[in-house]
Amino acid sequence: MKKIDLFKKYMKQHEQLWSCPICQNSMTVRDNHVVCAENHSFDLAKKGYVNMMTQPVHTKYDKELFEARHCIIESGMYKPLHEKITELINANSTVVDLGCGEGSHLAHIREKADGEIIGVGLDIAKEGVMTAAKHHLDTIWCVGDLAQVPFKDSSFDVVLNILSPANYTEFKRLLTDQGIVIKVVPNSGYLKELREAFYEQDEYDNHDTKQRFQENMEKVQQERITYKFPMTADLLPSLIKMTPLTWNAKKQDDLDISEVTIDLDILIGER
């Protein structure tokens, strides 16, 4: 079966989730399109994703960055994070990853979960969603805007937001009554070896980000996860390419990084 046919089948199974980003009506899968009652139509791409943007957006996040990020995540660098998040998700949940990038975080979390997890990933960067669709099947991959997420109210048991900007109005709209937001933010030590190498400083403060989460969500819990991950010469180029930390850096040669620090806060809250 072709990739677009597999994707169309999965979309059809879960079309009750969709809300037209233009008129907010329900949507159905018809041929190779997602269509609402007002005939607003969005094409299913042959590569296994749907673009729900109402106008084109260009970002600095390109194919090379997302392939590098895929390589790093597949190396196991975030495995302890994925295991911890999986512990927070009930079996048979419907999960949306908002700001999914190239999709590997969601894919690994679903693989480790007990029971079936319905997975939806959304990102404004088309190259990221295309990379996700290339590597991971049985997931709804969507190019979409976090300011106007094309899904119905109260559709998701879990909203994931991993190292990505937040929109708490949309998060709360999308959650079921007992649903949770799981937001992952970098802590002071996260990838400090890169900051030291490129900027000769390693200071980072996530206080404002955590405060906004606490102001917007209820019953907030927080867990910190920190560990070292060995860095090989083969992986180092992908690490450098995958993060905006190095976009404006001048020196990228002769780096001697044998390990990197993963230092993250996992924030959990209800609407």
Binding residues for Zn(2+): 20, 23, 36, 40
Give me the amino acid identity at 155.
Answer: S
At a CB cut-off of 8 Å and minimum separation 6, what does 111 contact?
none
> Residue positions in the annotated binding site for S-adenosyl-L-methionine?
78, 102-103, 190
Residue 34, helix vs strand vs coil: strand
Structure tokens at 48: 């296994």
Beta-bridge mates of residue 224:
265
Report the interhelical angle of 104-112 vs 79-88 (nearest 10°): 60
Annotated binding-site residues read 20, 23, 36, 40, 78, 102-103, 190
Query: Is the distance from CB of 184 to CB of 101 less than 8 angstroms?
Result: no
103 torsion bin: left (phi>0), alpha (psi -120 to 50), beta (else): left
Residue 134 · residue 41 · CB < 8 Å: no
Helix boundaries (H) for the chain: 3-13, 63-74, 79-88, 104-112, 126-135, 168-174, 192-199, 207-216, 236-242
DSSP one-letter code for 151: B
Residue keyed to tokens 């649903």 = 179
Among 119, 120, 108, 113, CA closest to 73: 108
β-pair partners for 123: 143
